[in-house]
Amino acid sequence: MIPGMTPTATVDLSSLRPAPRPAPAARWPVADVLALLGQPFMDLLFRAQRVHREHFDPNRVQLSTLLSIKTGGCPEDCAYCPQSAHFETGLEADKLMALDEVVAAAQAAKAQGATRFCMGAAWRSPKDRDIERVGEMVREVKALGLETCMTLGMLDGGQAQALQDAGLDYYNHNLDTDPAFYGQIISTRTYQDRLDTLAHVRQAGIKVCCGGIVGMGESRAERAGLIAQLANLEPYPESVPINNLVQVAGTPLAGTAPLDPFEFVRMIAVARITMPRAMVRLSAGREQMDEALQALCFAAGANSIFYGDRLLTTSNPQAERDRALLDRLGLRPTEA
């Protein structure tokens, strides 16, 4: 202190600092989603159809085609998946498809009316050299005038950016199920791993395709937990595939009691209500659904389907049959 100066009082500035902001409240608490799932069936469908009509033409359905560009040999142990190297399902592992084969498949999909072409590879996480090759697939498929989507496993930030630079429109990375049930389905990848990949995709500016699988033995509360996880993402996914388990011999979930079909429709309806602007995709399991059940799903707000003869490794209603059903319901494909 300088001689002759009066000591100044110490001022406590802590009271002047802004108080920490509380974490934002979830848009859709699990309890609220569970209450939706428990509504009388007709009330739930009516509400979902009203929400659907606010944001979409109720008589339009988007057609997407899914191609497995690298099949089998996956090191993950997802209990539903015939591509896992952990299970004996009789599926032969293949190498990554050649570029010209992928382009030919995309051309055929477009000729059949698909507007989005989805490519899936059975990897835990692609290597950088893989990203270069699939990036070229993205460029060539986009040149045909199709939207592009890929599912390649976990991505880091640089890989997501490389796919964005290639022009990828959507990246699919499903949460699969509720965090509380997740450990019964997979042990080789954490829930946070999935969320981290979604964050990398968002940061790169790629649209998110993210949903889950039902009918794996989970409870209704756990199905509500899955929807809450999806609906509370910021922002929620632009595309939400709802899959009904396709049981494959040799996988741990073979023999699981099938989900009540009306419970599946409830999931479609609640996805529509909680994520009103998302494309809600009626995905795996359509082969096991009759036409009346599919019609109920459309009434509940589904407005996108996988279209063609196969999904990644399981069968799908044939294109001609799909077109006939859509025609009978007065539904028209969404234009590119």
Catalytic positions, please? 74, 78, 81, 118, 149, 209, 281
What single string gives the DSSP state of each residue in 132-186? HHHHHHHHHHHTTT-EEEEE-S---HHHHHHHHHHT--EEE---BS-HHHHTTT-
What's the CA gap between 217 and 277, in Å, rounded?
Answer: 29
Whole-angstrom distance, CA of residue 149 vs CA of residue 168: 6
Distance from C-alpha of 44 to C-alpha of 37, rounded to nearest angstrom: 8
| Helical H segments across the chain, by residue range | 30-37, 41-55, 99-111, 128-142, 157-166, 179-182, 191-204, 220-231, 261-274, 291-299, 319-329
Distance CA 154, CA 172 (A): 10
d(CA 275, CA 264): 17
| DSSP code, position 52 | H
SS3 state at 307: coil
Q: CA distances (Å), 215 to each of 32, 200, 207, in order? A: 21, 29, 27
